[in-house]
Amino acid sequence: MDKLLQQLQSVGVHYIKSDRLIILEILENNITQASEIDMLINKFLNQLKSSKLKKVKFECPKTLLDSLNITRTKMKIVGERVIYTRSFTTPLDNLVPKFEVWSITEHNSISFLSEVMGKNFIDAEEFLVGMRTELSTQAEKMYTVYIVNNEPVGVVFSHIEPNTDKEGRIFWIGIHPNFIGTGMGKNLHSIGLYRLKNDFKAKYYLGMTQVDNIPMRNIMISNACVQNKNKVISLQYSI
């Protein structure tokens, strides 16, 4: 499977892998190599049963998916996402909201994340374990907490996307239920951008969210992110 992943990378398909999940992604309309991409993804799906992986997620532009005849037959469409970007060549806002970087293994970190995510402690812990597996060299410095009046109100996980030229991403972002609707999402997102530029040395930010997630789209726009004309289709395959 590693050889297939290397071949997929050579045609522009990036991946992040954990123990049971792999995420494949190509954001360019690489139509000229569509047949090769289609063949490689098909081979990869056929080899899943002989591995520990249980699920494959794949995202690509709709125009490319239309040319992936086998892939769109085998995989189920589960959503559509819009892309926003922001270059870090221009300055960010000078006033950065207060934040702290927490350990991903501390009990308090897991407990707070479970409250933010609305999941139990074990599920939150598994989320962090998966993040550490997927982004092993960055995970320990990703857990960033927005602090208001000495109280944690939200979490954002900034990171550099593997196998890119310093492309900044946000792995996950969320406001605690007690503070939803208070307008703090913009500040939390701005903290994520600040850390990407200053701590992770990203050259630019690329963010994606579901087409119907209007609050998140408005947050990215308010933080000077620009919408990409291309949308991506999200697909999934499970065994």
pLDDT score for 239: 84
Query: Residue 146, by phi and psi: left (phi above 0), alpha (psi -120 to 50) or beta?
Result: beta
Q: Considering the entire predicted model, what is its pTM?
A: 0.91
Residue 52, pLDDT above cutoff 90: no
* pLDDT digit string, tens, across residues 173-199: 999 999 999 999 999 999 999 999 999
Cβ atoms of 185 and 209 within 8 Å: the answer is: no
- The DSSP line for 92-137 is PPS-PPPEEE--SSSHHHHHHHHHHHT--HHHHHHHHHHHHHHTTT
What average pLDDT does the structure give for the chain?
94
pLDDT tens-digit readout, 159-174: 999 988 899 999 999 9
Whether the CB-CB separation of 154 and 184 falls below 8 Å is answered with: yes
Lookup result for tokens 């892309």 = 83
CB atoms closer than 10 angstroms to residue 97: 17
Domains of the chain: 2-82 (3.30.70), 99-202 (3.40.630.30)
- Residue 188: per-residue pLDDT: 97
